[in-house]
Structure 1
Amino acid sequence: MFPTQFTSTSFTWERKKLGDVAEKVIQKNNNNAFKNVLTNSAEYGIISQRDFFERNIANKNNISTYYIVQNDDFVYNPRISNLAPYGPINRNKTGYTGIISPLYYVFRVLNISTAFIEWYFKTTCWHKFMYQHGDSGARSDRFSIKDNELKKLPADDMEQEKIAKTLTSLDNTLQLHEDHLQFLHSFKSFLLQKMFFDNDIPPLLRFNKFTEKWNQCRLNDHTIVTMGQSPNSKNYTNNQTGKILVQGNADLYKNKVLKRVFTTEVTKTAVKNDILISVRAPVGDIARNQYESVVIGRGIASIKGNDFLYYQLEKMKNNGFWNKYIAGSTFESITGKDLKNTKIYTTISDEERKIGNIFSSLTKIIQLQEHKIDSLKKLKQFLLQNMFI
């Protein structure tokens, strides 16, 4: 099967082998000229061994046999994992020359786009070859393949510059969006700290014309709190005609209820727009119920409340408010009494509405940004699967 091609191009893909476009690096670290030991991680790529393990693993008296890895050299690590079922092949993008264990295979590409080869090894196109020409080795955590076989690995060579530029541009765009998402989360955390009481310190940011003193009260005196009660497990079902069961934190996802388990027995319920809070490990996670009615188990409590209360509870969770109730407990949980007696702050309705609107809008912006990132990741995965043979 041939890959998706760019418009106006009709190249015939030329089947090449790794040995045709790369050479094995065999230069040893004679006289210990280089000290910076590298490692090749499936998750993080090629990084300093000290940064990865937070300490030096290699014996400084035994690094003369290590291979020298220049910037843009590639390293194959035969250690297998869920992220790299045949071991990761990554490019040294540290910007400096380092050394790596002789257990790794180091190679340098010639007369071919380095970025193209880097992207090629981010796909699974080469996995079939590894499966057919290697074995799992004597150790279950390592893949074994002879050097001569590895040199036969297909490394196709057409449209390489366009493919590399497209994927690199997409990756840069994805990184920009992820950086912006991180900024939005940080900005929201900043506002949560400044627009609500912080312990006994009044909010430092307030809207103009609001000068009224905020009041403190028990949660149960301000609104209705309902502790969940689990149905009998024999009444659990996968049939979606049953009631949605919210048992605990696993059923809360991105501020909403995750429809996962159903029940034919109705115990305690929460209605649409109720705040749901986890009262078992991890305590304090919250969501808005978007369904007309759900059954809540003993790991959940429901709270009637506006957005002002919702984001006040989110701020309390972020600040570790619930830790004082669960310290020293074998199983992290809070009681109904603890929850109902929790002290919260209130203000006049207009100010509560404005504060709630700010955080509701910001949360929607964050969700849209997350959706953009998910879409970009799906596009990247599609291109990786369809732009290589």
Structure 2
Amino acid sequence: MENPKIRFKGYTKDWEQRKFSEFVENVAVRNREGLELECYAVTNDRGFISQKEAHDDFGYMADVDKTAYNIVPPNSFAYNPARINVGSIGYYAGTENVIVSSLYEVFQTADYVEDGFLWHWFKSTHFPKWIERLQEGSVRLYFYYDKLIQCEMKMPSLEEQKKIGKYFDNLDHLITLHQRKCEQTKKLKKYMLQKMFPQNGAKVPEIRFDGFTYDWEQRKFSELYARSSEKNDGSIGMDKNITVATMQFKNDVKVSTTEYLKTYYTFKLGDIAFEGHQSKEFRYGRFVENDIGNGIVSHIFAVFRPIQEYDLYFWKYAINNETLMQRILARSTKASTMMHDLVTNDFLNETFLVPSVKEQKQIGAFLNKLDNLITLHQRKCDELKKMKKYMLQNMFI
């Protein structure tokens, strides 16, 4: 194939085959004078990153012997020969020299090569094929500069290179934008989950909607929920089987007989189920509310049904809030292998602060809106990543 499947209008000339030895130059120079330059590293997901910024990942070494490092001038590529197979290559677009480990290869390109175009080619499926073909080693595989210059690629005019590089830069910008908005909304949700529920013996939350002034009421869970032992009568099939961990309908679970389906509990909209696996996030297990519709769950889960008027979304977030539920579950569960079992009577005797249904609705709607925004940004981000993957496959050859 002489040309890619997708091109910008106005470009018809065939792409030319180029060897890397024609257009890259090794510019790695040891920092022998010990210049006080900032230390950088290259990661497979973030590219060039300051070790100060990434101290949690790398550990910042203020007293490191900088004479053992390589200098990276602006507009240079650098990569780790031992990790290039997982994408550890970066492009440094800064204005001041920096340094990287002497293990790194550092190179620049000729004037007729657009660095942005080459950068995105590195992220396409073409470069990994060259790495796989040329890397060497027995236990650990390496891809040194002498292997890089053996690679070949097809390249258009400089003008077309710039167009392609800019297009993928814009895609990356949009992906980063939605990722950032997603993370910001997650942080806001975490903050509001702490501030919109009473903490540390308080009777009201720190953040409250206008018009609500009454104290929240202390209620036993036995006043709010009852243990449900309602079994499936066989009329509900596996298409309505709910996976508690993800709160999704999942019908790929193998069930031997219809009779076995009758051992499943009915799990109605608004019911809660206890999932006892301990994790960093949920020390004693957790409750999950059914907010997707009527279905069934395995008999291994303890199911509880609301017995008073309630707001679906308020309880979705309240019952799953580790800050609120950890002490309650610490007192009402017992440890077993890798998980916790719920002691029903102990749980039902525990108390919980509850606002009016009207206030529940306000809180639930607000938190659910945040979740919808998180989902929206995540979905958009995923769509853009799929588009980028497709275009990388079809705009390079």
Q: Shorter chain as normaliser: what TM range? A: 0.7 to 0.9
Partner AA of 2:105 in structure 1: Y
Find 1:154's aligned residue among 133, 144, 152.
152
**Deviation at 1:131?**
2.3
Secondary structure at 1:67's aligned position in 2? strand
Which residue in the other structure is 1:235 paired with?
Answer: none
Decide which moves more: 261-270 or 22-31: 261-270
Q: Distance in 2 between matches of 1:261 and 1:323?
A: 29
Find 1:75's aligned residue among 74, 78, 83.
78
C-alpha change, 1:76 and 1:190, in structure 2 (3 Å) is closer
**Deviation at 1:132?**
2.4
Which residue in the other structure is 1:281 paired with?
Answer: 278
Whether the aligned pair in 1 keeps the contact of 2:77 and 2:106 (CA below 8 Å) is yes
C-alpha change, 1:133 and 1:348, in structure 2 (3 Å) is closer
C-alpha change, 1:273 and 1:215, in structure 2 (3 Å) is closer
Which residue in the other structure is 1:89 paired with?
Answer: 89
Q: Distance in 1 between matches of 2:108 and 2:266?
A: 63
Which residue in the other structure is 2:267 paired with?
Answer: 270
C-alpha change, 1:39 and 1:211, in structure 2 (3 Å) is closer
Q: Distance in 2 between matches of 1:313 and 1:46?
A: 42
Which residue in the other structure is 2:142 paired with?
Answer: 143
Q: Distance in 1 between matches of 2:172 and 2:305?
A: 42
Q: Distance in 1 between matches of 2:64 and 2:195?
A: 50
Q: Distance in 1 between matches of 2:100 and 2:313?
A: 54
C-alpha change, 1:277 and 1:183, in structure 2 (3 Å) is farther
**Deviation at 1:5?**
0.8
Whether the aligned pair in 2 keeps the contact of 1:256 and 1:288 (CA below 8 Å) is no
Secondary structure at 2:152's aligned position in 1? coil
How many aligned positions are there?
367
Whether the aligned pair in 2 keeps the contact of 1:90 and 1:121 (CA below 8 Å) is no
**Deviation at 1:369?**
2.2
**Deviation at 1:331?**
3.4
Secondary structure at 1:224's aligned position in 2? strand
Which residue in the other structure is 1:174 paired with?
Answer: 175
Q: Distance in 1 between matches of 2:393 and 2:339?
A: 44
Identical columns (%): 24
Secondary structure at 2:184's aligned position in 1? helix
Q: Distance in 2 between matches of 1:356 and 1:161?
A: 49
Partner AA of 1:294 in structure 2: I
Whether the aligned pair in 1 keeps the contact of 2:289 and 2:319 (CA below 8 Å) is no
Q: Distance in 2 between matches of 1:17 and 1:225?
A: 71
Which residue in the other structure is 2:190 paired with?
Answer: 189
Decide which moves more: 22-31 or 158-167: 22-31
The gaps in structure 1 that reach 5 residues or longer are 230-239
**Deviation at 1:327?**
11
Deviation sequence 1:200-247 (CA, Å, 0-9, x none): 221233344433332111223211245899xxxxxxxxxx96466557
**Deviation at 1:6?**
1.4
Whether the aligned pair in 1 keeps the contact of 2:264 and 2:296 (CA below 8 Å) is no
Which residue in the other structure is 2:313 paired with?
Answer: 307
Secondary structure at 1:31's aligned position in 2? coil
The gaps in structure 2 that reach 5 residues or longer are 280-284
Trace 1:1-389 onto structure 2 (pairs within 5 A): 1=1, 2-3=3-4, 4-49=6-51, 51=55, 52-56=57-61, 60=65, 63-80=66-83, 85=85, 88-93=88-93, 96-111=96-111, 112-135=113-136, 137-140=137-140, 142-145=141-144, 147-158=145-156, 159-201=160-202, 202-226=204-228, 242=238, 249=245, 252=246, 256=248, 261-263=253-255, 264=257, 265=260, 266-282=263-279, 283-284=285-286, 286-288=288-290, 290-298=292-300, 301-304=303-306, 306-316=312-322, 324=330, 331-337=338-344, 338-389=346-397
Q: Distance in 1 between matches of 2:382 and 2:16?
A: 33
Decide which moves more: 315-324 or 358-367: 315-324
Partner AA of 2:151 in structure 1: L
Q: Distance in 1 between matches of 2:318 and 2:30?
A: 60
Q: Distance in 1 between matches of 2:302 and 2:26?
A: 58
Deviation sequence 1:46-71 (CA, Å, 0-9, x none): 234563421439961xx535321123
Secondary structure at 2:396's aligned position in 1? coil
Q: Distance in 2 between matches of 1:350 and 1:285?
A: 23
Q: Distance in 2 between matches of 1:85 and 1:57?
A: 29
Q: Distance in 2 between matches of 1:324 and 1:296?
A: 24
**Deviation at 1:19?**
2.2
**Deviation at 1:181?**
1.6
Whether the aligned pair in 1 keeps the contact of 2:289 and 2:315 (CA below 8 Å) is no
**Deviation at 1:24?**
0.7
RMSD over aligned CA atoms reads 3.4
Q: Distance in 2 between matches of 1:89 and 1:114?
A: 13
Whether the aligned pair in 2 keeps the contact of 1:194 and 1:205 (CA below 8 Å) is yes
C-alpha change, 1:35 and 1:8, in structure 2 (3 Å) is closer
TM-score using structure 1 length = 0.80
Decide which moves more: 119-128 or 148-157: 148-157
C-alpha change, 1:74 and 1:342, in structure 2 (3 Å) is farther
